[in-house]
Structure 1
Amino acid sequence: MTTGAARTRRSLAAAGATLLVAAAMLVGCASPLTPKTPSDGGSSANGGASSAGGGAPTCETIIAPALVDQFAELGWTARTDPFYVGPTEVPGGVSCTWGDFEAGATDVVQMYGWAPVEADVSAELQGYLADQGWKREEADGVVYLTESMPSTEWADEQGYGMTYAFGDGWVALADTKSGLAVITWRG
C-alpha cells in the first residue's frame, strides 16, 4: 500500500470512527451489552433481546437506528452474512459489513454482528478464540475476546481490534471493542 493510500485509508477510518463515536453518544450511556433482566425489558434467556419486536436479527435492527440513518446518508449499505466464530457458524445470527459497495472494492467498512448462543456452545467458542491467541477480558458479566495483534489502522483508541462479546445467551461482534457500544439488538 502506498503512503498516500495508507493516509487516505486512515483518514476514512478516522471519519468512520468519528461517526461511530457520534452514534454511540446517541445510543446513550447504558451499555447495550449489559445483561438484561425481564424487569428492564429484556430476557436473559434470549440474550437480552425483547420478544416485543419479534423476528430475527438483521443488519438494520442490531445497531442503533441513528447509526443506520447515518450510514444511509453516506450511501452505505449492509452486506449480510452468517455469523461465524472462526470456522463455526452460529445459527440464528447475522454478521453485517457496512460500506459503500457501489464504489467497488473498498476497505473502508464497519462490521457488526449478533447471534443467540447456548451456554455450552458459548464456552466452546470462547475456548477456540483463546486457543487462537485472542485476549480475554471480563467486565459487567460480559466476556470479551479481542484479536491479539490488531492492525493499527483498525484498532480503537485503546488499541482493541476485532472483538467478540459473550453474554448470557448471546454473542456480539464488532470490528473494534468500542464498536460494540452501538449494538442495541432488542428483537
Structure 2
Amino acid sequence: MTPGRRAAAVLLAVTAMLGLASCAPEPGTAPADPSAPTAGASAPPADPNAEPTCETILSESLVAEFKGYGLEAIEEPFSFGDPATTSIEGGVMCTWGAPDVATDHGVQIFGWAPLDAAGAEKWQAFLTEQGWTRSDEGGLAVYTEPFAPVPEDAMAYAFGDGFVKVAAPKQNLAVITWP
C-alpha cells in the first residue's frame, strides 16, 4: 500500500470513528444537551465577523491529525455543485486529501456557509429537484445524494438555523464545529 493510500485509509477510519463516537452517549449517562458543544469542538472565533476556513470549521485536533498524515485542504467557495452558479457568499468548501496521490479514494469533504431562511428554502428546493433525499436529524434538515455508489460514502447537506454545512461522507457532518 502506498503512503498516500495508507494515509487516506487511516483518515477514513479516523473520521468514521470520530463521527460515530460523537453520536453515541457514554453508557449510563443522560442524553446530551443538543445545544452543548460536542467533544473536540473548537471555540467560536474571537472575531464575530471572521469567515470560516478549512482549518476553523473543524476542531484543531482533527486538523492537526490530518496534517500529521500529510493531508492538505483545497479551499473553494461553498456551492451546491458548480461554484460558478451555486456558490454561497461567506462560505467555504474544503477537500482534504494527499496532494501527491491522484485519487478520489479517501478524500474527505467538509464545508460551511451562512444562509438565511430564503436561501435555505431556495437550496432545499434545488436539492429536492435534483433527487436528493431529505431526512430530519437532530434539528437539521439533511439532504443525502441518492446516486452514491456506496451509501455510506454519500455526500450530504445539513440545513440549520442560519447555516448550511456539507460533508462527504455524510457521517462527517458531526465533526464540523463552526458556530
What TM-score range do you get, normalising by the shorter chain? Answer: 0.7 to 0.9
The 5 A counterparts of 1:1-187 are 14-24=9-19, 36=35, 50=44, 52-54=46-48, 55-86=50-81, 87-101=85-99, 103-107=100-104, 108-152=106-150, 155-156=151-152, 161-186=154-179
- Structure 2 residue runs of 5 or longer lacking an equivalent are 26-32, 38-42
Return the alpha-carbon distance in structure 2 between the equivalents of residues 61 and 84 of structure 1.
Answer: 18
- Match of 2:173, SS state, is helix
- Greater relative contact order (Cα < 8 A, sep 6+): 1
- Structure 2 letter corresponding to 1:169: G
CA-atom RMSD, angstroms? 2.9
- Structure 1 residue runs of 5 or longer lacking an equivalent are 42-48
Aligned length: 160
TM-score, normalization by structure 1 = 0.74
Structure with the largest fraction of helix = 1
Verify the 8 A CA contact 1:23 1:67 in the aligned structure 2.
no
Verify the 8 A CA contact 1:23 1:64 in the aligned structure 2.
no
1:90 CA drift (Å): 0.5
Q: Provide the identity percentage.
A: 39
1:106 CA drift (Å): 2.5
1:28 CA drift (Å): 8.1
List 4+ stretches of structure 1 deviating above 2 A. Answer: 11-17, 21-30, 49-54
TM-score, normalization by structure 2 = 0.77
Return the alpha-carbon distance in structure 1 between the equivalents of residues 64 and 19 of structure 2.
Answer: 13
